Chain A
Amino acid sequence: MEALSNKRRVLEAKPMTFAERIYLPAILKGLSITLKHFFRKSVTVRYPEQKREFSENFRGMHSLKRDEEGRERCTACGLCALSCPAEAITMISAERKPGEEHLYREEKYAAVYEINMLRCIFCGLCEEACPKEAIYLDGDIVKPDYFRKELIYGKDKLVEAPLNQ
C-alpha cells in the first residue's frame, strides 16, 4: 500500500547493548537526576503563612454592601436567590418601619439573609443578577469548619462593617 505521507518511518527494535542490559548505567543516571533535585529549592507555597496573590477577578466570600450613607443596599427582591444555580441563598424580607431610614436604603429589606457556603459554587451569578449592587464576591477564601451549621453564613458575617467604625 502506498504511504499517505512521507512521514512514515519503519522502526526497528534494536537488541539492547550490554550496558543497557545490566541496567546499572541507567540506574546511576536516574539516581544522579534525583540527587540534583535533592539540592534544588522546593516549590511549595507554605499556605497559611504565605499566600499567593489572587487574580483580579477572584471570587471569594460574599459581602452585602452598604451605600454611601451606610445603609444596607439589599432590598430583598430575591433575584440573587432565583439566579443561584446551587440554591444556596435564602432570605426573609421585612418592611422598613418609620425611624429606620438610616439603616435600610429601600422600604423593604432582608431581615434574614443566609448563604450556605457548602452549596455555593462561587459562580458570581448573584452578583450579576443584583439590581441594587448589593452583593459582591470580593472577600477572602471561605474558611473550613468542623460543623455544617457553622457554614451557613447569616447577615452577621455577610454585611459590610458600618461606615464610621
Chain B
Amino acid sequence: MTTTDIIVRLVLITVIFLITLVIAMYSTYAERKVAAFLQDRVGPNRAGPYGILQPLADGAKMFMKEEIIPARSSKFLFIVGPSLAIMTACIGSAVIPWGQTLMIGNYALDLQVTDINVGVLYIFGVVSLGVYGVMIGGWASNNKYSLLGAIRAASQNISYEIAMGLSIIAVLMTTGTLSLREIAAQQHGFWSHGWFTWNVFKQPLAFLIFIVCAFAETNRAPFDLPECETELVGGYHTEYSSMKLGFYLFAEYINMFISSAVMATLFFGGYNFPYMHHLGLSANWVTILGVIALFIKIFCLIFFFMWVRWTLPRFRYDQLMDLGWKALIPLAIANIVITGLVMNFIK
C-alpha cells in the first residue's frame, strides 16, 4: 500500500462518514415528514423553507440542553454507552461497496473502504457489538426502566441475530462468497440467463426474514420494545439527556441507513441497475450512475422502514419472542434446506 493509497482511503472514509452523518440527520427530518404525511398533517415547516433546517435546529437544541449524569450511575460506563452505540453504528459502513471502480487519470479508485473477504461476517460482528451500547447505557443508568429496556434490547437482538444469520446462509449458498463486493458484482445488470440477477428474486423468503430481523436489530417499530415509552418511560435512554441522548437517537438512524445499505447490496443488486451496460456510456459514468442507483435503493428502503413504523402497532414481548424463535428461525432453516435441495437437483 503506497502513501497515495493511504491518503485516498482516509479521504474516502471521511467522505463516507460525512455522508452517513448527513443522511442520519436528514432521516430524522424525513421521519417526521413521513409520519406527518401518513397522518394527513404537514410536519415540521417552520425552520427554513419546508422546514429543511429542522435537523440543525434539533441538533442545536440537543447541545444546549443541560447535561445530567445521575449521582448513582456508574459514571464511566454511562458515558461509554452512547459513544459505543454511535461508534458501532458508524463502522458498519466500511465494507459496503458504494460503487464500482472509478478511474481518475491512471489511479483506480475502488468506491469501498476495504474489501475484506469475510465482509458479511464483519457486518454481523458489528451488528452484535451494537447491542453493547444499549446494554451498557441501560445498566449504568441505575434505573429500573433503563435496565428493563436494556434487557429487552439484549434478548431481542440476540434472538433475531440467529434468524438473520440463518436467512443469510441461504443467500451465501447461492453466491458462494462472503465478500460484499463479489456479491454485488454477481448481481450485475438486472436480467441474465432467463431470470433476474438480483438476489431478492432468487431468495425472496430470505429477504423477508432478513428485513423483519433488520427491523428488530435496529430497534425500530413494530419491534421498538427497548424504548417503548408507554411501558418503560424512555427505555434504555430514560436517564440520558443532552447530546448523549442525541447520540442514541442518532445511532438508531445511522443503523437504519447502514442496514438499508446492506440490504440493498445483498438483495437489490447494490450499485447495479437495469441496462447498465447497454447505454453506451463510459465506465466512469456507469460507476457514478451506479452510486446514484445504490442511494436511491437505500432511500426507498429507509422510506419503507418509516412507512412500516407509522403503520403497524408495537408487538407484545411474548409475541416478539414467538415470532423470532417459533416462526423465523424454522422458516430460515427450511429455506436453507430447500435451497440446498434445489441447488443439488436442478443445477
Contacts and interface: CB of A to CB of B under 8 A. Distances in A.
Interface of A: 27, 30-31, 33-35, 37-38, 40-44, 46
Interface residues of B, number: 14
Contact of A44 (B34, B41, B310): B41
B102 to A, nearest CB: 36
A37 B34 CA distance: 11
B311 A46 contact: no
Interface of B: 34, 36-42, 45, 307-308, 310-312
Contacts of B307: 31, 34-35, 38
Given A31-B307, A34-B307, A42 B41 contact: yes
Nearest to A30: B311
A147 to B, nearest CB: 22
Nearest to B38: A34
Contacts of B38: 34-35, 37-38
Contact of A42 (B40, B308, B310, B312): B40
Task: Name the prevailing secondary structure of the B interface residues.
Answer: loop
B39 A37 contact: yes
Contact of B312 (A27, A40, A43): A27
B42 A44 contact: yes
Task: Name the prevailing secondary structure of the A interface residues.
Answer: helix
Given A42-B42, A44-B41, 12 more contacts: A30-B311, A31-B311, A34-B310, A34-B311, A35-B307, A37-B37, A38-B307, A41-B40, A42-B36, A43-B41, A44-B40, A46-B42
A30 B312 contact: yes
Contacts, number: 36
Contacts of B312: 27, 30
Closest 10 CB pairs of A and B: A34-B311, A44-B42, A34-B38, A30-B311, A38-B37, A42-B42, A43-B40, A42-B40, A31-B311, A37-B38
Contacts of A41: 40
Contact of B40 (A30, A40, A46): A40
Contacts of A33: 311
Contacts of A27: 311-312
Nearest to A26: B312
A58 to B, nearest CB: 25
13 contacts: A27-B311, A27-B312, A31-B307, A31-B308, A33-B311, A35-B38, A37-B37, A40-B40, A42-B37, A42-B40, A42-B42, A43-B41, A46-B45
A69 to B, nearest CB: 47
A27 B41 CA distance: 23
A42 B311 CA distance: 17
Nearest to A41: B40
A12 B50 CA distance: 52
B308 A37 contact: no
A46 B43 CA distance: 11
Interface centre among A27, A31, A35, A38, by most B CB within 10 Å? A38
